[in-house]
Structure formats: structure tokens, C-alpha cells
Amino acid sequence: MFFQRRIRHALLAFALFSSSQGLSAMEFTPLEPTTTQEITTIEILEKLRMLHFSSIPIDDALSSNLFDGYLKALDPNRSYLSQQDIAEFTEYRFKFDNMLKRGNLDAAFTMFNRYQQRYIDRVEKNIELLGNVENFTFDSDEELVIDRSEMPWLETEQEFDDLWRRTLKYQLLSLKLAGKSLEDSAEQLVRRYKNNLDRSVQIANEDVYQLFVNSLTSLYDPHTSYFSPRTSENFNISMSLSLEGIGAVLQREDEYTKIVRIVKGGPADKQGQLKAADRIVGVAQGADGEFKDVIGWRLDEVVDLIRGPKDSVVKLEVIPSDSDEGAREIVTITRNKVKLEDQDAQKKVVETVNANGDIVKVGVIQIPAFYIDFEALRNGDPEYKSTSRDVQNLLNEMIEQDNIEGLIIDLRGNGGGSLQEANALTGLFIEAGPTVQIRKASKRVLRQGKPIPTPFYDGPLVVMIDRLSASASEIFAGAIQDYKRGIIVGEQSFGKGTVQSLAPLESGQLKLTESKFYRISGESTQHRGVIPDIHFPVSLDHDKVGESALDAALPWDTIRPVRHYSYQIDEATIDAARIAHDQRITADPDFVFVERRFEAMKARAERKTLPLNEEKLQALRDADRQVMRDLENERRKAKGEELLSEEEIEEMVAAETEPVTPPSDEDEEEAEQPADFYLEEAARIMGDAFFKGTPQLADNKTASVSS
């Protein structure tokens, strides 16, 4: 039976190459699935059925969605496969479900092999076209469509030739506008395509299998995925804590490596230039190293380049999230480990003025992550480190030594961590009660919280969140909001309200979503996140960053609420503080700048095409830069600061392509830190809400609400 299936696969492969658009000069051996992969597929289906939070039947509907998802994974911009290819593949649309149940992977490998041959053919043709770079001119009124993911599949060879001629033209023009000669630009692109060609023939059946299975798991939710044996060690691709690197979480998006999150306290966070949704297109080793073009590279290959020994330098060439495809920035980072103390909660004291003009001292505790030293805890160390213990110590110090009258918990950029610590931290601000509900795939609901009444801080409390506050941060902020214990300010949070676990497999491992978080109000933190009581202007595009930006994210929903006390910060108090806040930021130069810059970024992101005329593309980029310079000068003028000089403007332009050197450790403490106007506004809100006249504490609990 197994031998017969191999014969059938060989015949399919022969048909594949007989119908191809011409055989490639590069030898390509069709890939085949292994018996182990067939067994693993059946095992994955069973674990998804038994353990995943969502119950999705393996039927024709799933098969059809898998067919579309796999095509998107293979050819996201519809640049290689033809309409004829898609027509031939259509016979599989409603067969994947039955094939999966038998562990039959023939169709998946047949589709990949066809794509791989098309890819090799096209890349070789591109290299040939770049050999005659003098044929490219940049004075016509042609345009390039940026996103073809929803456009029809191309039908003829002429249509493919025209698409790739325009693509190459744009790539050449972008490099030319960056200061390279046309010949050097062509040489760089030839190197890129030759590197991609070399890697394409090194792809193993393990890679194809992982791509196909993850097209299946992504139908369940974006956090369920399969790791092959080779990639299991790179679980979450997190270059932090145990790995020496830059401190960033990465993912593959189309042909790019995308920044998902910057780890607080890590080298990239300290350097300050990288942002979520930036895309890495080049990596160089050392201050003077030559860049390797990593467009089209596998994620693990890019990660291997970025990781390296402590104190070594890596340079990244990135497309900023707020720029178009042609913009580039060079980011220079010194590798290091994310030290435990860099993840520690930190304190400081700021002053604000209340309605009477009285100065109010406000304590601030910034929490980069919810951490706990489990090993020290297991060993019985009474001084084990944890978020809640550190916050309690810092809070006591500020009360006793600094005489603070209110507290801000700053969770901006906090991607989560220990659920135990999120509950323990909430317990520092409530007398007792539940903090979170966890609903299992079995629909059983578990509750966690503070079971025994103990002393707690009952003073004025404000919690700051942003789009990158996720998971455990959302549990804490949601509980404080549900208890009406404090005021939540900032942006709508990330919206990750799911819990994952690892399941070992015959080959590799499966990370799957097994449960879901719910607030004590009964509302899920999933997808929607925590909605602040008082909104700050959006700084990140929620269409690109956040759970709602991910395909197949589990929905927001509700379950039964839990009885809990209310500390009764009334809506009138919040409304009054919101009105005062809105009036302030309308005239505040920093907040006006943030809003207008975001509008400019959105306008860029909504472009559908880019000009291939040199003068027009240069004019478009100049206009984009001018918008940002004008916004900066408007902000400076409104604040009474000196406007940018022509020399500084030239330096800003140069900085887009030149390395930025971070300060040394010796310089870091002395370097002037920019004012945190978000934090200053949070302190003003506290003054509005809690200190209308003379300083006063928040009300203790006065009532209970039933479920």
C-alpha cells in the first residue's frame, strides 16, 4: 500500500512538471512526505479534537478553508502560481478533510512542488532580466500594485513577465533613490535572488510539512501551531532571558521578518529605535559588517543571524512600520541577555497639581513583565523574587519615605507573564475576592483570586495600559476596572485572552490553545482586550498590532459574572476627569503631534499603488518626510522650542539610512531622557479624579454585586 502510494505520488510529480511553464535550469527534486509525518498528522487531529478550546469539525468547510489558507501561505501575493495551477488544484478543495483523517499528505506536497518549480523558474528569469539592467528606465507613468493578495490569479506568461518587470523596476528604483548606482542596485538584487534560489533547493520535506500543518492549525486560532523537531527549540522565537540576542519577538509575514514585540529591558528596548510591526530586510555582523539581504529567508535563519554572543554588535536594516516599502533605517544594537533586574518593577515619584493648585505627590511603579523565580520559590528561599513582592516593597518605601498621595501602575509594553503574579498583584489593591475566571475546553470554569482578607493599599490608583499590554496585564487591569478600584487610562490593550500548552508528538510538538481568560464581570479579555476608562491617542495601528489584527483570533464573548465587592469610583468622577483630559490634549502639542502623525501613517498605509517614475516616487517620499518635519516643527513652535534648522533636517534625512549608535552604559545614565507626556497626563487625571480639593483616599468597598 505504501509503495503504491509512492508510485501515485511519482506520477503526480511527473504530471506537475509536464504542465509547468518550462523546466528550470536548476535541478529540483520533488519532495515527498514521510511515514512519520503521516502518523503525526493523525495524532495532531486527535489532539486538536480533544484539547483545543474550540471544537471545529474536520469536514468540507474546514477542507475548503484549509485549501485557501495553504495557497495563501504558499503564494501570499499571487506572484508565482497561475490561474491554471489553481484550477488544477481545485480538485483538492473538498478532499483535504478525508485525506487528513488518513494521514494522506500527497495533495499538500503536490501543491508545494508545483509552487516550488514556479518559484525557481521565476527567480532565474529575474536574475536574467537584471543582467540587462540598462533596459530599465524610470521616466514612464507606470505603477506597482502594493498588495495583490485579493486580486485574481494571473493567467498568461506575459502577465507574469509584466508583474515582475514592474516589481524589479521598483526594487531597482528604491535602491537608486537610496544612493546606489543602477549597476550596484542590480548586483544587490542578483545576490538576493541567487541566495533565495540556493535556499529554495535546500528546503526539506520537514519544512513543507510544517507549512501545511500550520495552515491547518491557524484555522483554529493564531496561537495554535506545529513545531517540527528542528524548530521546537525556537518556541515563540523569543530572543530574551535565556538567549543572547536583541530582546525581540519575531514572526514571518509574507517574505518579511516582522517585529511582534520588543522585550522590556532588552537591548532593542534600550536602544529605542525598533518598534512593533517594523520589518527586517537585512542583517549585518559587527559595526562594519556587510549586510545580508534576508527578504524571503526562513524565520529560523534570520533568528540565527540576529542572535550572537554578549557584547557583540548586530546591525539591522528595517522598513519602519510607519513608512512605505522603499524606506529603510539602519539600527545598530549591542547584543546582551535580558537581565532579571531589567525586568524588575521600578519606582519613581512625579508631582501634579490638583484643581486648587495644590501640589500632589504621585508614586509610579513601572512593571515590564509579571515575573517570579519559581526555582527559588520551590527551594524555599524566603527572599525569592516576584512582581508582587517587589511592588509591595516599592509601594511601602514610597508611602513611608516619599509620602505619596496616589499611585500609578504603569503596564505599558507589558506582554504578560505569570498568571499567579497577576492575581497576587491584584491582591495588593483589594481586600479579598476573585480576580480572573479560566474556562477550559471542557467548558469547566475555574476561578482564581485573593481568598483571605488581608491589608491592602486603598489609596488613589490609576493604571496605564497601551496596545502592547497583554495577557496577565489585561487580567490585572480588568480586575481593577471591574472592582472600580482604580481608573484605567491609555489605549485599548492587545486582547490576548487565551492560554496555550505544549503537547509532545511523534515528531515535534504542538502548541495549542486550551483555555480562555474571563474577567470577574464575565467579559473575555480575548480579542477586545481592556477598554480604558479614559482614552489616550492611538500610537500604534490597531489593524496591524493586536489580537484583532491576527487571522482566526478567537472571538470576544461572555460567561456568568462572579459576585465581588465594588470600591465605587463613580461614573461621574470618571466623566469629569475624562472631560478635563479631552480639553487638555486638544491643545497639548505632544498629543496633537501623536494624533496627526498617526493620521499621516494611516494615509501611507492606505496607498494601493506606488509610482515607478523616478521623479514621482522621489516627490512622494519627499512629501512624506516633509509632513513629518512640519509636524515636528509645529510641535516645537507650540511648546516654544527652537525649530529644526536646515542642517538638522538634513541630519534627519541622513538618519534614515545611517546607523544610529546607542549610548554606552556609562553614557546611559547621563543621557537626557525625553519627557514622558503620557505619564504626566496620567498624573493629571489622578489629580482631577481624586484630589478635587483636599487630598482624599478612594472609597473602601461599600456594596456587593450579585452574579
CB 577 within 8 A of CB 685: yes
- Pairing state of beta strands 509-518 and 498-504? antiparallel
Non-local (6+) Cβ contacts of 90 within 8 A are none
Q: List active site positions.
A: 471, 482, 496
The DSSP letter of residue 221 is -
Sign of the CA dihedral running 684, 686, 690, 694 = negative
Q: What is the 3-state secondary structure (H, E, C) of 353-368?
A: ECCCCCEEEEEEEECC
CA 692 from centroid of its chain's CA atoms: 40
Residue that has been written with the C-alpha cell 495577557 in this structure: 471
CB 406 within 8 A of CB 362: yes
The strands making up 406-410's β-sheet, listed across from edge to edge, are 346-353, 359-366, 406-410, 461-465, 487-490, 534-535
Assigned C-alpha cell, 210: 510544517
Non-local (6+) Cβ contacts of 47 within 8 A are 503, 505, 510, 512
* C-alpha span between 203 and 111 (Å, rounded): 15
* C-alpha span between 466 and 468 (Å, rounded): 5
Say how many C-beta atoms besides its own lie within 10 A of residue 79's C-beta.
17
Q: For residue 344, what are the CA distances in angstroms to 333, 347, 414? A: 22, 10, 12
Helix axes 182-200, 106-130, angle to 10 degrees: 160
Say how many C-beta atoms besides its own lie within 10 A of residue 635's C-beta.
20
- Over its C-alpha atoms, the chain yields an Rg (Å, rounded) of 28
* C-alpha span between 698 and 707 (Å, rounded): 24
CB 249 within 8 A of CB 263: yes
- Pairing state of beta strands 329-334 and 346-353? unpaired
Listed residue (469, 475, 466) closest to 421, CA to CA: 475
Sign of the CA dihedral running 176, 178, 183, 187 = negative
Assigned C-alpha cell, 40: 503525526
Q: For residue 32, what are the CA distances in angstroms to 75, 109, 113, 238? A: 20, 6, 9, 31
Assigned C-alpha cell, 383: 527572599
* C-alpha span between 536 and 490 (Å, rounded): 5
In degrees and rounded to multiples of 5, residue 452 shows phi and psi of: -115, 130
* C-alpha span between 684 and 677 (Å, rounded): 10
Assigned C-alpha cell, 616: 514621482
The DSSP letter of residue 97 is H
Helix (H, G, I), strand (E, B) or coil at 144: strand
The DSSP letter of residue 610 is E
Q: Across the chain, which distance is largest between two alpha carbons, in Å?
A: 87
* C-alpha span between 407 and 395 (Å, rounded): 8
Assigned C-alpha cell, 340: 532579571
Task: Measure the CA angle with vertex 620, ends 614 and 624; round to 5°.
Answer: 145
